[in-house]
């Protein structure tokens, strides 16, 4: 006797995958994902040129006070035919208590001077990404 099974649909997994990571690993993963999202946001909105880059030179998140401290370097670079037209780096930094954000902090502008002019974002944009650390 042969039984053929097709179109199997598993509605509930036998193992909860979230249990496979420890809390510490999950927290570290979340921090790294948030940091990557902040860096990508900065590259897109505060850098110019065809070789944009950014990264954290300082980062800390105090779990008990829910305070994030950061310093991000941003690089704007443009090359044409192997010749560098411009290459500049600049930093942005801040410290926010994510548990108690004031309206004035959300409305604060973060501005940088780039080779093609001044670029600004609202601090709210970065704070909203950092808020994912609270989740």
Could you read off the pLDDT of 85-111 as tens digits, one per residue? 999 999 999 999 999 999 988 999 999
| Per-residue CA distances from 127 to 92, 98, 114, 132 (Å) | 13, 8, 22, 9
87 in Cβ contact with 114 (< 8 Å): no
Cα distance between residue 124 and residue 103, in whole Å: 9
- 12 lies in some domain: no
In-domain check, residue 15: no
Give domain status of residue 5, yes or no: no
Which domain covers residue 65, as residue numbers? 23-134
Asked whether residue 7 is assigned to any structural domain, the reply reads: no
* Neighbouring C-beta atoms of residue 15, cutoff 10 Å: 7
Judge whether 27 lies within some domain.
yes
Give the pLDDT band (50/70/90) at residue 134. confident
How far is Cα 113 from Cα 120, in angstroms, rounded to an integer?
A: 9
**C-alpha distances in Å from residue 74, one per residue of 9, 113, 134:** 47, 11, 25
> Can you give the pTM of this predicted structure?
0.77
Answer whether residue 81 is part of any domain: yes
Give residue-wise pLDDT tens across range 4-45. Answer: 443 434 344 443 444 444 444 456 788 999 999 999 999 999
83: in domain: yes
Number of separate domains in the chain: 1
């Amino acid at each position: 006797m042969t039984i053929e099974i097709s179109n199997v649909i598993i509605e509930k997994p036998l193992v909860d995958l979230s249990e496979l990571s420890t809390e510490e690993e999950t927290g570290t993963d979340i921090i790294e994902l948030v940091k990557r999202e902040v860096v990508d946001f900065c590259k897109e909105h505060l850098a110019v040129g065809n070789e944009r880059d950014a990264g954290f030179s300082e980062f800390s998140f105090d779990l008990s006070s829910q305070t994030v401290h950061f310093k991000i370097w941003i690089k704007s670079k443009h090359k044409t035919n192997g010749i560098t037209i411009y290459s500049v780096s600049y930093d942005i930094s801040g410290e926010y208590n994510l548990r108690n954000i004031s309206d004035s902090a959300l409305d604060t502008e973060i501005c940088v001077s780039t080779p093609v002019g001044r670029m600004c974002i609202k601090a709210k944009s970065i704070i909203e990404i950092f808020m994912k650390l609270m989740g």
